[in-house]
Amino acid sequence: MATDASKPAEQTLFVRKASGLVKGWSSTDGFRYSFFSTNIFLGIWGFLYAVFIPGGSVFWSIIICTLFVLLECVVYAGLISAMPRAGGDYVWQSRVFHSSVGFVFGATGWWFILWLWIPIYAALCVNSFINPIFRIVGLGSWADWLLTKNGVFVASLATIALATYLVAVGMKAYANFQKWALWIGLAGLIVGAILLIVTSKASFIAAFNREMFQQYGARDAYAATIKAAGEGMPSSMFAGTLKDTFYLLPVMAFWLLWPNWGATLYGEVRGAKDFRKNIYQMAGGLLSAVVIVIIFLFLVTKTMGWTFFEASANGYMGALYAYIDPAKLPAGGSYLSPTAMTAWIVNNSAFQVILIAAISLIVFGWWGTVFLSSTRMIFASAFDRILPEGVAKVTSGGVPVNALLLMAIPSVIVSAFYAYQPSFVSLTYDATLVIAAMFLMSGLAFMIMPWRAKAIWENSALPKIKIGIPLMSIVAAVYSAFMLFLLYKWIYDPDNLYGIGYKNKNSMIFMGILYVAGIVIWIIAWSVRKRQGMELEAVAKEIPVE
Amino acid sequence: MKVRLFFATDVHGSEVCWRKFINSASHYEADVLILGGDMTGKAIVPIVQTGPDHWRYHMLDITHELEGADELAKGERLIRDHGYYPVTLTPEERDEYTSDEDKLEELFHEQMRKTVASWVEWADAKLEGSNIQCIVCPGNDDRFDIDEILKTSKHIMVGEGNVLDLPEGYQLASSGWTNLTPWDTPREEDEPKLKERILSIVEQATVPPERLVLGLHAPPYDTQLDVAPKIDWETLTVQGQDSAHVGSTAVREVIEEVQPILSLHGHIHESRAAVRIGRTLAVNPGSSYVEGMVAGVVVDLDGKNKLKRYRLTSG
């Protein structure tokens, strides 16, 4: 039997009127979802950690990491195409491996670790947008307070409240808001890019020094920043050894791993075209974000100067991790938001505030949904009877109250640790590691699907090209190897480059608690359900056909 | 004594799902099997004869070239497992069906009847000698003549419009009719008429609510069971990430008024969930027929007046 993906001109499918025959999610929506997820500001925030590996090339590490993440787009497009509407990583892994594997990796990756994303989101938002706006409008004391322990905690609580509110009542309006957020945010970015293009380095330095004097009382801040924190920083985004550039990949993964975050709405009359469309949507979002960031980095080099940009990041990280005296830094260790520095080029407070607010929509348009995927995961495991039925309870108004509590209460606790226990900040990359571990398992699930889930594989519209073994399995194997590399670098980290390896006991304990919690919940559920005569494994076991 | 039900729905012409459904009784140790509607497929894949012993078809954007009768049989099976109807045609016949809607309509009718008849035959052979009670209720996408074919079965009971006795003194009241959809399907009507229809069926029940099970294809409105991507009724395109409640208010009102122990639903494939509406557990196990998987729910009734437990399955 020969197969060919070309489409003939004549009628190849007769469809009758039947429910559910829709034309699927539009490409624009899928693209928007992926673009928001590979959030460029997560990237800019993530670059801060590149200061710990100054010997690596930021530019080339982005390119290499992107190439590997493109494989992720293929793997996830394949999983979605083969098992649409299946509930994501949790169900894929349950079907291909075992219920326990699906739950432990699904729960830690989609549920527990998102507690840690809350204070990270809050910190990014406060530092990148809210504090710069406060300082521009003369509310420096508010900005200072937001950086105190109480301020960090309150910002996290506000993020929890917003995420809870959106899941509880506001998702519909938020979905509309996202559409506007993207376009306004992009318009803001274009204005910012134009400013950086038309501004000379000398003009930027003058504008930077002016604003730093007005806001922090610092004189000649540009030179002072380089003097205080520029030592050892690279002079170009291209400079670096191959080895150190590879060491930067785990840093870049912090923002590049997420184009597969959404895209769960698909029509039923689907095929290879849908598989390709899924890839285009995810890869489109990823590549657009990467192109924008690279353009930004070129403009930074031209207008701000690369050494200064790295020094500004190193100053913040140095103050945070106590290897640079904040008193020596013009901003006293405050984060110098690239968005704000761009806005400062125009000496007009109203313009600056509007531009920062517009650009911030690229972030606000996305992360209000931080609890959304978690509640889905909680529901799925409640319906499979791993969690008690009550967990999936919804109020008469449709609010998934218990699932939200399972997100909100631990998030408050984790946020409190983040705010009041200084060493907790160093766990930032745990937020990526735990999800990457889940992605690894899904990559492996896709790799062995042709053998372990043969019926699903054969029923799917995925290309069945073989090079000895199915091409899709080879793609998944390379992707999984990349995930393994990332995990290895994060965990086996003798130089403490990423701060979450075996040398950081807090990190090990924190992640250990998450995985043990997942295992304990599954074992309890397994033993309870076994006594009730409904074995957990049966939930995903295939029914015989003949 | 405990009664275990297995409920699945919306297999939409997938032969592999039908076979799995019939086999699910032993797999889940169920006493009763209930299929909640939409048995019939949505599309025909023409297998066009291109030579004396050569055929070609195009499915899921892939063109398949078939040589010989064995490959033809394999191709037909693959198409059926996807929930489509394989029909072997000459190029001229295909063009005729393309231009003549009435003729195509009749072809659909013929394929559905033929497929349901063969499914019934297969199920009868499988269920022969077992104590399993198997109930099938057509859904809104199923044309009326399939009811008659189902009635010819020795072992399958037809749910539509009936109240059927289940083991241990439980009863099942079923209907595959739904509220209006954008697709103008055979069994749909406005909410007041639907409520009237469902109530007229429920009135036939002779057991108290704690022993009554409803099998209604449409899920209750404004629950987790009825959330679908929002679509434009004219163009049938999905509207962004927006979702909408598309269930039936009539079904919800009946559940609220009657308060049966269990209410089983389907129709909205992506809204796999279980909710409590008062004392009633309402479940929509969803559908994964496109994957060749049977999404279902196993429910244990305690034989008295309690629902002991349930679990959504995927097999």
- Helix, coil or strand: residue A376: helix
Across B32-52, average pLDDT? 93
Q: What percent of chain A has pLDDT over 70?
A: 91
Instruction: Specify the pLDDT at position A412.
Output: 96
CA atoms of B251 and B217, how far apart (whole Å): 9
Of B275, B312, B313, which is closest to A394 when you measure between CB atoms?
B275
Looking at chain A, which residue has its C-alpha nearest residue B100?
Answer: A14
Chain A 120-179, residues with CB within 8 Å of chain B CB atoms: 172, 175-176, 178-179
Residue-wise pLDDT for B8-33, tens only, equals 999 999 999 999 999 999 999 999 99
Contact A175 B241 (CB under 8 A): yes
Q: Which chain B positions have a beta carbon within 8 Å of A17's beta carbon?
A: 183-185
Across A357-383, average pLDDT? 84
Residue-wise pLDDT for A455-475, tens only, equals 788 878 788 899 999 999 999
State the DSSP code for A393. -
Contact B224 A379 (CB under 8 A): yes
pLDDT band at A266 (very low <50, low <70, confident <90, very high): very low
Chain A 458-487, residues with CB within 8 Å of chain B CB atoms: 458-461
Mean of the per-residue pLDDT values of chain B: 91
Contact B62 A3 (CB under 8 A): yes
Residue-wise pLDDT for A206-222, tens only, equals 999 999 999 999 999 99
Instruction: Specify the pLDDT at position B211.
Output: 96
Contact A91 B314 (CB under 8 A): yes
Identify which of A168, A217, A383 has the alpha carbon closest to the alpha carbon of residue B282: A383
Q: Which chain B positions have a beta carbon within 8 Å of A80's beta carbon?
A: none
Q: Which two tokens stand for residue A217?
A: 């009382």
Please indicate if any CB of chain B lies within 8 Å of the CB of A72: no
- Kindly tell me if the per-residue pLDDT of A267 is higher than 50: no
- Kindly tell me if the per-residue pLDDT of A273 is higher than 70: no
Contact B291 A18 (CB under 8 A): no
pLDDT band at A401 (very low <50, low <70, confident <90, very high): confident
Instruction: Specify the pLDDT at position A538.
Output: 75
Contact B61 A272 (CB under 8 A): yes
pLDDT band at B230 (very low <50, low <70, confident <90, very high): confident
State the DSSP code for A230. -
Contact B313 A538 (CB under 8 A): yes
Contact A1 B75 (CB under 8 A): yes
Contact A459 B65 (CB under 8 A): no
CA atoms of A506 and A132, how far apart (whole Å): 32
Q: Between these two residues, A284 and A273, which has the higher pLDDT value?
A: A284
pLDDT band at A248 (very low <50, low <70, confident <90, very high): very high
Chain A 365-394, residues with CB within 8 Å of chain B CB atoms: 379, 383-385, 389, 392-394
Across A148-167, average pLDDT? 91
Q: Which two tokens stand for residue B191?
A: 């909410």
Chain A 239-268, residues with CB within 8 Å of chain B CB atoms: 265, 267-268
Strands B133-136, B32-35: pairing is: parallel
CA atoms of A358 and A351, how far apart (whole Å): 10
Asked whether the beta carbons of B266 and B9 are under 8 A apart, the reply is yes
Looking at chain B, which residue has its C-alpha nearest residue A532?
Answer: B309
Interface test with B, best of A381, A459, A460, A528 (most B CBs within 10 A): A459
Instruction: Specify the pLDDT at position A9.
Output: 59
Contact A383 B311 (CB under 8 A): yes
Report ipTM (2 d.p.). 0.87
Q: Which chain B positions have a beta carbon within 8 Å of A22's beta carbon?
A: 229, 231, 236-238
- Helix, coil or strand: residue A486: helix
Chain A 82-121, residues with CB within 8 Å of chain B CB atoms: 82-86, 91, 95
Contact A1 B222 (CB under 8 A): no
Asked whether the beta carbons of A212 and A297 are under 8 A apart, the reply is no
Q: Which chain A positions have a beta carbon within 8 Å of B224's beta carbon?
A: 379, 392, 394, 398
- Kindly tell me if the per-residue pLDDT of A131 is higher than 60: yes
- Kindly tell me if the per-residue pLDDT of A336 is higher than 80: yes
Q: Which two tokens stand for residue B84?
A: 């489509």
- Kindly tell me if the per-residue pLDDT of A38 is higher than 60: yes
Please indicate if any CB of chain B lies within 8 Å of the CB of A545: yes
State the DSSP code for A338. H
Lowest mean pLDDT of A112-121, A384-393, A481-490, B289-298, name the range: A384-393
Residue-wise pLDDT for A499-534, tens only, equals 889 998 989 999 999 999 999 999 999 998 888 777
Asked whether the beta carbons of B177 and B218 are under 8 A apart, the reply is yes
Asked whether the beta carbons of B286 and A264 are under 8 A apart, the reply is no
Residue B244: other Cβ atoms inside 10 A: 13
Identify which of A239, A78, A241, A153 has the alpha carbon closest to the alpha carbon of residue A424: A153
Residue-wise pLDDT for A44-69, tens only, equals 988 899 999 999 999 999 999 999 99
Residue-wise pLDDT for A416-447, tens only, equals 999 998 888 888 889 999 999 999 999 999 99
Q: Which chain B positions have a beta carbon within 8 Å of A21's beta carbon?
A: 42, 183, 236
Instruction: Specify the pLDDT at position B245.
Output: 87
Across A384-411, average pLDDT? 84
CA distance B142 to chain A (A): 9
Give the dihedral sign, CA B112/B118/B120/B122: negative
Instruction: Specify the pLDDT at position A3.
Output: 56
Contact B183 A19 (CB under 8 A): yes
Contact A379 B66 (CB under 8 A): no
Q: Which two tokens stand for residue A366?
A: 């996305």
Mean of the per-residue pLDDT values of chain A: 88
pLDDT band at A265 (very low <50, low <70, confident <90, very high): very low
Looking at chain B, which residue has its C-alpha nearest residue A536?
Answer: B311
Q: Which chain B positions have a beta carbon within 8 Å of A528's beta carbon?
A: none
CA atoms of A354 and A434, how far apart (whole Å): 37
pLDDT band at A14 (very low <50, low <70, confident <90, very high): confident
Identify which of A438, A440, A449 has the alpha carbon closest to the alpha carbon of residue A484: A440
Identify which of A545, A20, A35 has the alpha carbon closest to the alpha carbon of residue A288: A35
Contact A85 B269 (CB under 8 A): yes
Looking at chain A, which residue has its C-alpha nearest residue B93?
Answer: A11
Lowest mean pLDDT of A19-28, A147-156, A189-198, B58-67, name the range: A19-28
Residue A485: other Cβ atoms inside 10 A: 15
- Helix, coil or strand: residue B141: coil
Instruction: Specify the pLDDT at position A118.
Output: 93
